Amino acid sequence: MRTDAVIAHSDAVPDRRDFLSTFSTVAMAGGLVAGYGTFAAMAGRFVFPTHVETPWLFVAAANSIQPGDSLAFESPTGVKVAIARRPGGAVQPSAETADFIALSSVCPHLGCRVHWESHNQRFFCPCHNGAFDPEGKPVSGPPKAAEQELARYPLKIEGGLLYIAMSVASVGTSQRLPSHAAHRSRASSPERSAVQEDLA
């Protein structure tokens, strides 16, 4: 009787050992799969980002740009943009986002600097006489022949202040901002508050 109990007990021990061995192997494999899976997911998000947040950069008080005038803006990464207020825009103090347009001031033909000509109501590239209408569409010169438009940037107005949506990610440029552009693109909250108080 005692011998039968010892035999039954000895038969139970290998079953328990087999169970623990199998369980620990499965748990270890599961941990490795979970760990490597998490690493792969993180690496995938880093290598193939699905969403890059584009911040809103302060440009100027909206009413400081008169209808028909333009402002040269440069982002912290050196991207040059011409921001123009449409001539038929609202009069002060009720400027609206639709009154403004922000276009790249780099000609898509050969990369020359484009500027706004208010008397001709066009953006003009002096390198090869390329011209663009107020919406950035080509009207003459090599850009017209190639149907190359000026890149457009979103704008918004909040509290009477004009903002532009631009990436601040490094693009390998080493250009320094002029002091006025750096001030505009990096205006701090107290400066914005002071502008808002002046507008009120």
pLDDT tens-digit map of 165-197: 987 764 433 333 333 333 333 343 344 444 344
- 56-105+152-199 fold: Rieske Iron-sulfur Protein (2.102.10)
pLDDT reported for residue 192: 41
135 touches 101 (CB < 8 A): yes
Q: Confidence class of residue 55 from pLDDT cuts 50, 70 and 90? A: confident
Q: In this predicted structure, what is the pLDDT of residue 3? A: 54
Burial class (CB in 10 A: 0-12, 13-18, 19+), 153: buried
Asked whether the whole model's pTM tops 0.75, one would answer: no
Report residue 18's pLDDT band, with 50, 70 and 90 as the boundaries.
Answer: confident
Please list, in sequence order, all residues whose beta carbon lies within 8 angstroms of the beta carbon of residue 87, skipping any fewer than 6 positions away. 67, 68, 118, 121
